[in-house]
Amino acid sequence: MSKIDSAVINSAAEEIIGNQTITNLVNDARSLWQSGQDNRLKLGENFSRLYREVERYRKSAKSGLTYAGAVAKTTVPRGTAERFREMWETREEFSIPADTFLVLCEEGANLAAIKAKLGAAFKGAISTLLPKIQSLDTTDAKAVTALANDLGKLVPKPVETELAALESQLSDLTNQLPKSGGEEAATIAEEMHQTREQIGLLYVERMKALVTALAPFLDWPAERAKEYIKAFADQSLSQRARLYKEAAKFAKTAATGLAITTTAAA
């Protein structure tokens, strides 16, 4: 890290944001974020507390400070912060051990993402699997994979047109935001966040299917394919879109070559 970067971080750390509690939470989140994403549940707990503290402060001090503004001070992207917060709050709500939650995430079964997808239906959908989740032996690879597969079946497969519809919806909301203000702007911003999350999940689902199909041709073992999907899911929405489109283009080129080969052989 350069001396200039250190000076900027130290200066930010000394700034009082709202009150001392909020300031400490912001500084803790900044420090955790710089140390790496293995802290995602701890960060989620931090952002959950930050959300409550900012709301409490706004009501008592009638301040213009917003949760989004406080998150911006942490240097963590808003979408990432919200994803971590949702992970922590889902884990807390359903009393899921932290190591179990993270192991299932690595198997492609992020319970917070599934909850966001199912909405109010999540509680009923997960009820029969909850005892298995809470008692899961995380060292039993077969049990972890089987449970992750069962959780994946809870989410209906998206129709092909859903991605285009969501991207169109996000574009409309983006155009509306500069024309709005106050509560309306906050509502639109929240809708934009939720729409981005849904689009991001669709890209992960599609990339997982694509990588599974391409892995044998790339000489990738199953573990490498799994690691790639995990890294892909941690990317920003724009990066996911770019990587998926590049992979889809590669797959189409390979399919064209296969078709030519098959025709020639015939």
CB–CB of 205/158 below 8 Å?
yes
Q: What is the pTM of this model?
A: 0.59
How many CB atoms within 10 Å of residue 96?
A: 19
> In whole angstroms, what separates CA 245 from the centre of its chain?
19
Tens digit of each residue's pLDDT (9 = 90 or more) over 156-209 = 765 555 778 888 888 888 888 888 777 777 788 888 888 888 888 888 888 888
- Residues in Cβ contact with 57 at an 8 Å cutoff, skipping those fewer than 6 apart: 18, 19, 22, 63, 65
pLDDT of 9 > 70? The answer is no
CB–CB of 57/65 below 8 Å?
yes
- What pLDDT is stored for residue 85 in this prediction? 93
Residue 6: pLDDT band with limits 50, 70, 90: very low
Residue 142: pLDDT band with limits 50, 70, 90: very high
Sign of the four-CA dihedral 105, 108, 117, 26: positive
Which has more confidence, 26 or 260? 26
Tens digit of each residue's pLDDT (9 = 90 or more) over 202-232 = 888 888 888 887 787 778 888 888 888 888 8
pLDDT of 257 > 90? The answer is no
pLDDT of 17 > 80? The answer is no
**What is the pLDDT of the chain when averaged over all its residues?**
82
Cα 174–Cα 52–Cα 68 angle in degrees, nearest 5: 25
Residue 261: pLDDT band with limits 50, 70, 90: very low
Residue 10: pLDDT band with limits 50, 70, 90: very low
3-state secondary structure the chain: CCHHHHHHHHHHHHCCCCCHHHHHHHHHHHHHHHHCHHHHHHHHHHHHHHHHHHHHHHHHHCCCCCHHHHHHHHCCCHHHHHHHHHHHHHHHHCCCCHHHHHHHHHCCCCHHHHHHHHHHHHHHHHCCCHHHHHCCCCCCHHHHHHHHHHHHCCCCCCCCCHHHHHHHHHHHHHHHHHHCCHHHHHHHHHHHHHHHHHHHHHHHHHHHHHHHHHHHHHCCCHHHHHHHHHHHHCCCHHHHHHHHHHHHHHHHHHHHHHHHHHHHHC
Which whole-number Å values give the CA distances from 163 to 174, 175, 230, 260, in the listed order? 16, 19, 21, 30
- What pLDDT is stored for residue 205 in this prediction? 83
Tens digit of each residue's pLDDT (9 = 90 or more) over 23-82 = 999 999 999 998 876 788 999 999 999 999 998 887 777 777 888 889 999 999 888 899
Give the mean model confidence (pLDDT) for residues 105-133: 89
- What pLDDT is stored for residue 1 in this prediction? 46
